[in-house]
Amino acid sequence: MGRPFRSLVLAVTAGAAVACGDAVTQSKSPMLLVVNTLEAAPTGGHGANTFTGNLLSDVIVLATTPAPCSTTSPCATVFNDLGRVTLASQPKNIAIQPTSNNQVTINRYHVEFIRADGHNTPGVDVPFPFDGSVTGTIPEAGTLTLTFELVRHTAKEESPLAQLANNPNILHTLARVTFYGQDLVGNAISVAGSMSVDFGNFGDQ
């Protein structure tokens, strides 16, 4: 079990834990994007590769493998964290039957972190925002699941996360992820979803 921690900022309200279907509708596309689910998982330490609706992001993990790391001589290691999203599309006009031209290809995403107390300076209060590439196509009558990098290795080596490796504080944030793409006719389309991400030096067992 982990040791107790002091809270660095006020917790994000439970209602903001996961926000799905936050559609961005300012598009000429006849289709809407919908976030069905947004989840995350650490890639090392406790709960590795187990996707849940909120993320406990460990800024440092005492790894016991591979050699020369061991249970008696663990290695302080930084792991990134993954996100997983399931997207769907639907016509703005429900009376129209979608065709293959209404397939939507996702090709980019943007991640930004915010705090409930309004202190949101990147590199000081929260990790820096970043853009990433991820590609997949949503069928006209189906869904698409994509895995992407939600927290980068470098973020845990920069302020403010690097300081958490040596103190008991927890940084409560809300990660907002926006996915961008276009339909087969070329109309740009995007959608955003949010989830809670708590950063700290959590127990490794």
**Would 61 be classed as within a structural domain?**
yes
Name the DSSP class of 55. Answer: E
Tokens of 127: 């990790």
C-alpha to C-alpha distance for 204 and 60, rounded to whole angstroms: 9
Q: What percent of the chain has pLDDT over 90?
A: 74
pLDDT digits (tens, 9 = 90+) for 74-107: 999 999 999 999 999 999 998 888 888 899 999 9
The pLDDT value given to residue 3: 42
pLDDT digits (tens, 9 = 90+) for 35-67: 999 999 999 988 899 999 999 999 999 988 899
**Would 1 be classed as within a structural domain?**
no
pLDDT digits (tens, 9 = 90+) for 140-164: 889 999 999 999 999 999 999 999 9
**Would 51 be classed as within a structural domain?**
yes
- Find the CATH number of the domain harbouring 64: 2.70.50
Q: What is the pTM of this model?
A: 0.84
Domain that holds residue 144: 6-200
Based on the structure, what is the number of domains in the chain? 1
Distances (CA, A) of 103 to 22, 84, 142, 194: 19, 20, 9, 24
Give yes or no for a contact between 73 and 61, defined as CB atoms under 8 angstroms apart. Answer: no
**Would 205 be classed as within a structural domain?**
no
**Would 68 be classed as within a structural domain?**
yes
pLDDT digits (tens, 9 = 90+) for 104-127: 999 999 999 999 999 999 999 999
The pLDDT value given to residue 26: 53
